[in-house]
Amino acid sequence: MTDKMCFPSLHFCPPDWLLLAEGEVVMPLVSIEERMNWVLSLGSANIEEKNNGQGGPFAAAVFDVEDHRLIAAGVNLVMPLGCSVLHAEIVALMRAQHQLGVHRLDLIEGRRFELVSSTEPCAMCLGAIPWAGISQLVCGARDEDARAIGFDEGDKPERWSQKLQQRGITVHKDICRAEAVQLLRDYQVGQGQLY
């Protein structure tokens, strides 16, 4: 059930199917490609479910870097929840922090966390990554792949992956890029709304 937020408190629930998908995943997903493919399957589900025609082709998840176990996943909930901030990466980061009870994941001693994102993060999500305490970023489709179907990725700093690495955040790009691009194209074919 995707509740609307209530005023003045803000309240949002991830969709039921996402919680079910988290429960059903066979852990751990040892290879980086397994983790990406699972995240891409969430993006596909988000298009299929469409939250009444409002789902976007973006998904993300936070994993433990050492044991590859899932902490929390996110899909783009901008339109179903009426909030421009709720990109897949932001939803995954907020849920992971909430589940682990910290406002920065790198405050947990002896553990490191990875964000797997179906497409390279937009300017907002990129800016959110260092604050969230993520140690490793894994990307599927490129920025230009999202732009090619009409999405705006925002104004990102030049050489953004180098800048993350200077902050001690490892970046892996082009993981299952072909499959990630296919997800974007599937959305385009379905004439999904761009936002």
> Which residues does the annotation mark as catalytic?
89
Q: How many residues bind its own copies (CB under 8 A)?
A: 50
The 47-76 contact track toward its own copies, x by CB under 8 A, reads ------------------------------
Strands 70-75 and 170-172: unpaired
User: Is residue 109 within the footprint of its own copies (CB under 8 A)?
Assistant: no
Contact 93, 117 (CB under 8 A): no
Q: In what order do the strands lie in the sheet with 70-75?
A: 70-75, 59-64, 113-119, 136-141, 170-172
CA angle 151, 39, 69 (to 5 degrees): 145
Output the smallest distance, CB 179 to its own copies, in A.
26
Of residues 47 and 176, the one with the C-beta less far from its own copies: 47
Of residues 94 and 138, the one with the C-beta less far from its own copies: 94
Contact 30, 71 (CB under 8 A): no
User: Is residue 168 within the footprint of its own copies (CB under 8 A)?
Assistant: no
User: Is residue 90 within the footprint of its own copies (CB under 8 A)?
Assistant: yes
Burial class (CB in 10 A: 0-12, 13-18, 19+), 16: exposed
The residues that touch its own copies, with contacts defined as CB under 8 A, are 3, 5, 7-14, 19, 78-79, 81-85, 90, 93-95, 97-99, 101-104, 122-128, 130-133, 152, 154-158, 160, 163-164, 195
